[in-house]
Chain A
Amino acid sequence: MSGFADVVFNMNNLTATIRMATPIALAAMGGAFSERSGVVNIGLEGMMLAGAFCGVLGSHFTGSPWLGVLLAVVGGGLVGAVLAVFAIRLKADHVVTGVGINILASGATTWLMQVIWKRKGATDLVAGLGTWSVPGLRDIPMLGTVLGMHSPLVYISLILIVLGWVLMFRTPLGLRIRMTGEHPEAADTVGINVRAVQYFCVILSGCLAGLGGAYLSLAQLNWFSKDMSAGRGYMALAACIFGGWNPIGGLGASFLFSFTDAIQMRMQTAQIPLPVEIIQMIPYLLTILILAGAVVRSRPPAALGKHYEAGQAR
């Protein structure tokens, strides 16, 4: 039993939690923006995958991981734009479109990987982001290693999440976004450009998920492998819902998911007498349980998933 306690209560778990929560929290914030504006975003998975791929692509061709990050943001945003055009302009069902995008992204990234690197499973290594050792943070006793030694994207993400919260709840644009997702007709009648707001939010969600993807391929690893997002986009959506469509709530939910994931990984390396497959199921089971619990308490934006066109009201 003490072995089990060692696995769960271990400082390294916290370090790993922060590490693994970052991409999910970024995509969850993307989900929050998209869904607050009324567009269901099942496509986070595909946007993340596109970001992971573009990150490696950028780093591979420029030699600069930071240009890779930039390309990841652009690539994720482009996938977001696809969802936006289909869901908003062409009035496609949001969920079906999102699933189509995920399949498309999976095929496109693997195809391009084979075209560019002539390899099937994973790309060559590229220049990664490395870690920052943050003066001040790293010197805190006990927590120094937990907080002070991470990829720069971890710190950037935390700042972005706070800024995202401010944008959503403290700025005129944020109010317009929330208005649009709650009551698009009301937004329209006060002169808010509903479509522009929705396009902005969905593309922004793609950029954020893309950044999360870049974290996977340039910070956590430094290569791209087939379908490397591995369901994190869906977990991000669950985190977004569990976090009440709020960037900071999504961060909290991501920490929770990632903490189980950290324990799961630790259990695999420690001598816990449980098969790998069973341990691997834990985060997915937890997502279902948390989602089941979260749905009871939270209400989605009132006009989520509906199509709106100016003047369509009867």
Chain B
Amino acid sequence: MGLRGDVSRFAYSAVAVLLALLIGAVLIGASGYSVKEAYSNLLVGAFGGVYSLATTVVMSTPLLFTGLAVAFAFQCGLFNVGAEGQLYVGALTSAVVALALSGLPPALRVIMALAAGAGAGAALGFVPGYLKAKIGAHEVITTIMLNYIAISLTTFMVKAYFRDPGPVDQTVLLPPGSRLPELVPGTRVSLGIVVGILAVALLDRVIRGSVLGYEIQAVGRNPHAAEYGGVNVRARTIQAMMISGAVAGLAGSVEAMGTLYRFIPYFSPGYGFTGIAVAVIAGQSMWAVIPAAVLFGALQSGGQSMQLFAGIPMELMTMVQGLVILFVAAPTLGSMFLGLRLRSSEKGGGRA
């Protein structure tokens, strides 16, 4: 750990992304597209001008939350693949609460709707946390199953109870006072990104400076020692999963209240899964979630313009994400490339 570890890890992550993009380039070329056209569109679409930058920020915002959610769960040795589902329940709950409280002053309305979204995410996070703590059911499978359930459930709720009378299955549009205010007028950059950065700062304090964070780390790294040290292992496991779920729920809240201004079934292009890539790159540091989220936000916004202007399918970016996860997950690959010794015990066992 320490600064040097963070720097070398970051350098390696950069190499991993470049390597993934390189493989992407080979695929683009092999499929008969122009690599130059693809990647120049990618770059311009991500960073070329105010509009592009704004799109990148908008794309990064939900990833900041889902990445933070997954990274926080990692600290407790938990792999939250359920951010996608938590995001859906958070988004629907926030949208419904923001609509229902239209009599209240806007600031209060927004805060309560955000809190409700976080609460809904936490409630969904409770289930795998509880099953893991009390029974030992692997959280990867339970969270994935809950993703399907959450997506079906929110779709059903919209159709049955909160449907806009129009032709599309979605909630009605939020009135301006129920939305997250725009940060940069004329773009969809909302206050959501600020909320995200505050969440990073808060969870960083929790992990590095609080008793709760200390206990969560101890549970994640050695539950037997944590138990010996008087830590309630089950309670911390459940709490860590709930906090993770709350943050993932906020991803949906911010998306519904700051970008879409309503809840739409199946709105997420997989923010929860991209959050995994963000978290894997960020590693042990909460603050590193921010650059990692921006990186993947840039890949998304750049990928969109690549698709639009060069006709290259967006799914290339999904592949790049998958490759980045693989490369960063393999610590020995890092030492091969950089000659650095990354800690191999970051997750999982290194001992037999």
Chain A interface residues (CB < 8 Å from chain B):
42, 82, 86, 89-97, 99-108, 110-111, 114-115, 120, 184-185, 231, 234, 237-238, 241, 275, 277-278, 280-281, 284-285, 287-288, 291-292, 295-296, 303, 305-309, 312-313
Contacts and interface: CB of A to CB of B under 8 A. Distances in A.
B325 A96 contact: yes
The 5 tightest CB contacts between A and B, nearest first, are A104-B322, A107-B318, A100-B325, A107-B319, A277-B156
Contacts of B136: 295-296
Given A86-B329, A114-B315, A288-B137, 8 more contacts: A91-B344, A103-B322, A111-B313, A234-B140, A278-B153, A303-B352, A306-B351, A307-B348
Interface residues of B, number: 55
Given A100-B322, A288-B131, A115 B31 contact: yes
Given A96-B280, A291-B141, A280 B152 contact: yes
Nearest to A112: B31
Contact of B149 (A105, A284, A312): A284
B105 interface: no
Contacts of A99: 79, 81, 140, 273, 276, 325
Given A110-B315, A303-B352, A95 B140 contact: yes
Interface string B297-316: 00000000000000001011
A160 B156 CA distance: 40
Given A110-B318, A292-B131, A277 B153 contact: yes
A89 B326 CA distance: 13
A101 B280 CA distance: 14
A306 B352 CA distance: 6
B332 A281 contact: no
A42 B140 contact: yes
Contacts of A234: 140-141, 144-145
B285 interface: no
B316 to A, nearest CB: 6
A91 B336 CA distance: 13
Contacts of B148: 231, 280-281, 284
B352 A308 contact: yes
A211 B347 CA distance: 32
Given A101-B322, A114-B313, A287 B141 contact: yes
Contacts of A281: 148-149, 152-153
A311 B277 CA distance: 33
Contacts of A238: 141
A179 to B, nearest CB: 13
Contacts of B346: 93
A248 to B, nearest CB: 21
Contacts of B209: none
B159 interface: yes
Contacts of A100: 277, 280, 322-326, 329
Interface in B324-352: 324-326, 329-333, 344, 346-352
Interface in B18-42: 27, 31-32
Contacts of B149: 281, 284-285
B263 to A, nearest CB: 14
B145 A287 contact: yes
Nearest to B145: A284
A89 B330 CA distance: 9
B161 to A, nearest CB: 11
B145 A104 contact: no
B168 interface: no
B333 A90 contact: yes
B12 to A, nearest CB: 13
B211 interface: no
Contacts of A296: 135-136
A274 to B, nearest CB: 10
A113 B145 CA distance: 26
B145 A107 contact: no
11 contacts: A82-B326, A90-B333, A96-B280, A99-B325, A103-B322, A104-B326, A107-B320, A110-B318, A284-B149, A291-B138, A292-B137
B326 A101 contact: yes
A100 B276 CA distance: 9
Contacts of A312: 351-352
A275 B352 contact: no
Nearest to A226: B315
A277 B159 contact: yes
Contacts of B315: 106-108, 110-111, 114
A188 B142 CA distance: 34
Contacts of A94: 348
B138 A90 contact: no
B317 interface: yes
Interface string B57-98: 000000000000000000000010100000000000000000
Contact of A95 (B79, B330, B333, B352): B79
A305 B156 contact: no
Q: In the complex, which of the residues B142, B160, B321, B325 has the most CB atoms of chain A within 10 Å of its own CB atom? A: B325
B135 A288 contact: no
B155 interface: yes
A295 B137 contact: yes
B146 interface: yes
A236 to B, nearest CB: 10
